[in-house]
Structure 1
Amino acid sequence: MANKKNKVKFGLTNVHYAKIKDWVTDASGANLTPVYVDPVRLPGAVSISIDANGENENFYADDIVYYVISNNSGYEGDLEIALIPTDFSTDILGEILDSNGVLVERNDDEVSQFALLFEFTGDKRKIRHVLYCCSASRPATEGQTTEDSKEVKTETISIKASALPNGLVKAKTCESTDASTYDGWYKNVYTPAVGTASKTTVKA
């Protein structure tokens, strides 16, 4: 992929989510690494807009910036899709599909954390991303009467992406990504090579 360098990016496609179904824990019972289910496609992606949380802070000594403290608090923003699938509502938002096929929301629904995978189209190669530990809020419910022309009403999910206990927040492909990793991006949640992320690596 070394000869396929992007100059620009545009578009959004191939949005997937992978629910965290369990955690590998240490002797004390503290969560260490997540165990993901296989990624599931989230169709109808319209847009994603996520902002970085956390700002660097300067520590001054000897009349200079002596040390820069990096505060990476993950990302926060919105994912707009055509219509939230029932699978996402039950898998992630904790809603219940009853015996009559009705989707039921309760005030004690337990939401699940998940990895969010997606890609932007580039002029040479699509750039594939993964946010390792996301949570989603319930979407608003809205609609309007049909007039002379029809306007599609999309649904927006607020996404908050935080760091895993081992420090991992996000990963993305680039021109040096090997073909097998790139082609298998949506088969399971990517595990960083040992030593590149932290002493503890994600077990997909």
Structure 2
Amino acid sequence: MAMEKNKVKFGLNKVHYAKITSYDEEGVPTFATPVRIPGAVSLSIDAEGEASNFYADDGVYYVINNNSGYTGDLEIALVPLEFATDILGEKLDEKGVLTETNTAEVSQFALLFEFTGDKRKIRHVLYCCSASRPATEGQTTEDSKEVKTETISIKASALPNGLVKAKTCESTDASTYDGWYKNVYTPAAGTASKTTVKA
């Protein structure tokens, strides 16, 4: 049974990341199980790439679509320890201290999230993301307390098979919708190359 159609969307919830643990010889990634990022405040991503025209016969003969993915910012309450170690390459030492070095290797990951709709939540996945280190800031407490959030810059690019992004809609089947945050969804063969998912 198809979902009811949304007329509007609002709100951000259930942000997850799923680390890309490896690629096979054909460039197909293996994803770890998605992990929740609590305290999501906002997500703003802009499409990258522009269409360009090829002219022939005194007119536009062909339109070339350059999809360069998305860039933007994810604002959260605090960067979780798991994200810092899994994705940003920081190390937790034997004394429980989180350390950052200039040789830390940042890992790629899928970013999953949903926007609330008036009828049904729209669930999204960006398949190949990289993240920057958040800035460190704070200020003295005055008469009233102001919560300071942390912002991570996100760059989402295409997988080797060309897959950039997917989202649910009113025709999404129930099992796919309900399992969105259990494993990274990948389209059937023919839409894009099949991606192995680590349970």
Q: TM-score range by the shorter chain?
A: over 0.9
Between the aligned partners of 2:25 and 2:75, the Cα distance in structure 1 is 34
Amino acid at match of 1:2: A
Q: Give me the CA root mean square deviation.
A: 0.8
Q: Given the two structures, how large is their TM-score scaled by the length of structure 2?
A: 0.97
Q: Which residue of 2 aligns with 1:158?
A: 153
- Give the secondary-structure state (helix, strand or coil) at the position aligned to 1:148: coil
Between the aligned partners of 1:176 and 1:25, the Cα distance in structure 2 is 34
User: Is 1:188 matched with 2:199?
Assistant: no
Between the aligned partners of 2:24 and 2:5, the Cα distance in structure 1 is 37
2:66 to 64, 71, 88: 71
Aligned pairs for 1:60-99 (under 5 A) are 60-99=55-94
Between the aligned partners of 1:109 and 1:100, the Cα distance in structure 2 is 19
- Give the secondary-structure state (helix, strand or coil) at the position aligned to 1:131: strand
Aligned length: 197
Q: Which residue of 2 aligns with 1:29?
A: none
Q: Which residue of 2 aligns with 1:4?
A: 4
Between the aligned partners of 1:194 and 1:176, the Cα distance in structure 2 is 19
Aligned pairs for 1:91-130 (under 5 A) are 91-130=86-125
Query: Tell me, which stretches of 5 or more residues in structure 2 are unaligned?
Result: none
- Give the secondary-structure state (helix, strand or coil) at the position aligned to 1:124: coil
Between the aligned partners of 1:3 and 1:130, the Cα distance in structure 2 is 19
Percent identity over paired residues: 79
Amino acid at match of 1:201: K
- Give the secondary-structure state (helix, strand or coil) at the position aligned to 2:28: strand
Question: Offset of 1:3 from its aligned partner?
Answer: 4.4
Aligned pairs for 1:193-204 (under 5 A) are 193-197=188-192, 200-204=193-197
- Give the secondary-structure state (helix, strand or coil) at the position aligned to 1:58: strand
Q: Which residue of 2 aligns with 1:14?
A: 14
Amino acid at match of 2:195: V
Between the aligned partners of 1:23 and 1:196, the Cα distance in structure 2 is 19
Amino acid at match of 1:6: N
The ranges of structure 1 where at least 4 consecutive aligned residues each deviate by more than 6 angstroms after the TM superposition are: none
Q: Which residue of 2 aligns with 1:23?
A: 23
Q: Which residue of 2 aligns with 1:58?
A: 53
